[in-house]
Amino acid sequence: MENLQILLWGQIALFAVVMIFLSIYAAKKTKTIQDFAISGGNLGPYVLGLSFAATFFSAATFLGYPGWSYAWGYSNLTLYFENFYDK
């Protein structure tokens, strides 16, 4: 395998291990439905703001981009893919 492939698979494996560890850790701390849904009411304003921003921008991306493509036609998609594959 190429060095880049080895690096990629290593990063995917590291990500999977970290996600499994965090999931087990969080599952042990979750005792009630309030703990699961709202973190037991212990969220600070920064975490709550970042969560709201991530939710908002995710919805704006999934709903806004198809609308933009509909309004501008297929030429919009070619601009997206040109910028995507230039890197």
Is residue 11's pLDDT more than 90? yes
Amino acid at 39: S
Residue 79: how many CB atoms within 10 A of its CB?
10
The whole-number pLDDT of residue 81 equals 64
Is residue 21's pLDDT more than 90? yes
Q: Pick the residue with more confidence: 80 or 54?
A: 54
Q: What is the mean pLDDT of residues 33-42?
A: 78
Nearest to 43 by CA among 55, 33, 53, 51: 51
The domain spans of the chain are 1-36, 43-87
* Cα 38 from Cα 22, distance rounded (Å): 17
Is residue 50's pLDDT more than 70? yes
pTM higher than the cut 0.75 = no
The whole-number pLDDT of residue 42 equals 78
